[in-house]
Amino acid sequence: MEKRRLGRTNFLVSSVGFGGIPIQRVNQEMATELLKEAHNNGINFIDTARGYLISEELIGNAMAEVGRENFILATKSMNRTYDGFLEDVYVSLKNFKTDYIDLYQFHNIKTMEQYNDLLKENSALAAAKEAKKRGLIKEIGITSHSVDVLKLAVETDEFSTIQFPYNAVERQGEEVFKRAKERDMGVIIMKPLAGGAITNGELAVRFILENKNVSVVIPGMDSLEQVRENAKPGLDGLPLSPEQREVLEGEAKQLGTTFCRRCGYCAPCTVGIDIPVQFVLDSYYTRYNLQQWAIDRYSAQKIKASDCIQCGECEERCPYDLPIMDMLKKVASHY
C-alpha cells in the first residue's frame, strides 16, 4: 500500500484509510474481520467519531485482536466546551482500549462563529491542547464542510490536519488542499463516494488519489469486498484510464443537478431549517442503509424539512441552482 506523510504529524499513513461510519451496521465478529482485512491490504489509518454510535467500541474491540500498534487512529468530537471535549477524549480512550489516540479532531465546524469560538480562551481547543500535553492525544485536527472555515484554519498553526469532502462531484476544496500542503498540514478526504451517490468505489478512490495534495482518503466499509475494492487503488497506484475517467465524469454529471454540496449558501432559512443537514440525514436513510439512525436524528430536530414554507429564498441563494424546495419535500416524504 502506498504511504503518504500526514503533514506535520509525520505519520506515514496508507493512502487509503478505513472510514468508521458504516461499521456500526455490523456485529463485533464482522468488525474484527473487517479490520483484519484492512490490515492485510496495507491499510493503517482508521477514522471514526464519537457520534458514530458504537463505531469506536467495535473498532476498539477489533484492534485488541488485530493489534493497536498496526493502526494510526483518528476520531472526532462534536463537543465545543473545555470539560465536554476532555470527557469525550477519555470516553474514546476507554472505547478504543488504548492509552493514546493519534489524531483527535473537532467534528464538523460549520460556521465562522463556531470556528471563532474554538479559538477563545478555555475553549474545546484549549482542552485538546491539554489532552495533548498529558499524552492522551498526539495531534489535533479540524473537519468541516465549509471551505471558508478551512481557509482560515490552514493559515494557523493550531491544527495538524484538515478533513473535507472531495470527490468527482465536490471539487471545491482543491485550492484549500493545495494551501494545506504548502503549510505542511495533512489532508484527509471524507465523502469519497459523495455520500454513496457515486456507485463505483474503486474509480472514486482512484480519482482522489491522483491529487498529490491529498494525504489519505477514508471510504466507509462494512464488507470484506468493499475493503478489497477500496484498497486496490492504493495498492497498484494506477491512475484512472481514459475510459474509467469518462465513466466517473458521466456519473458525476448526472448527479450535478440535484446534489447538495453542503456549501451553506442557502442559509439562513426563513423558518430556521438547517437545509444541508436534511440532505445529509437523508443520504444515511437512502444510501447508507441506516434508516433508523436517520429517523431518530431527523425526528429529534425542532425544525425539519417538513416545516418548509416554500418561500424560495434558499433557491435564489444556491450557487448550484438546486430545486431545494422539491428536494426538501422528498426528504420529508421519507419520514
Locate the domains of the chain by residue range. Answer: 3-241, 275-333
Give the max Cα distance, the chain: 55
Measured CA to CA, the distance from residue 136 to residue 276 in angstroms comes to: 34
pLDDT in tens, the chain (335 residues): 999 999 999 999 999 999 998 899 899 999 999 999 999 999 999 999 998 889 999 999 999 999 999 999 999 999 999 999 999 999 999 999 999 999 999 999 988 999 999 999 899 999 999 999 999 999 999 999 889 999 999 999 999 999 999 999 889 999 999 999 999 999 999 989 887 778 888 999 999 999 999 999 999 999 999 999 999 999 999 999 999 999 999 888 877 667 787 767 788 999 999 999 999 888 888 877 788 888 999 999 999 999 999 999 999 988 677 899 999 999 999 98
The DSSP 8-state label assigned to residue 156 in this structure reads: S
Which amino acid, one-letter code, is at 236?
A: D
With b for 16 or more beta-carbon neighbours within 10 A and e for fewer, the 220-243 pattern comes to bbbebebbbbbbbbbbeeeebeee
Report helix, strand or coil for 194. Answer: coil
**What are the two backbone dihedrals, phi and then psi, of residue 186, each rounded to the nearest 5 degrees?**
-75, 145
The total of other beta-carbon atoms located within 10 Å of residue 316's CB is: 10
Q: C-alpha grid cell for residue 297?
A: 436524528
Spatial separation of the C-alpha atoms in residues 264 and 314, rounded to whole Å: 10
Among the listed residues 333, 331, 321, the one whose alpha carbon sits nearest the alpha carbon of residue 265: 321
Q: How many CB atoms lie within 10 A of CB 133?
A: 9
3-241 is a CATH 2.10.25.10 domain: no
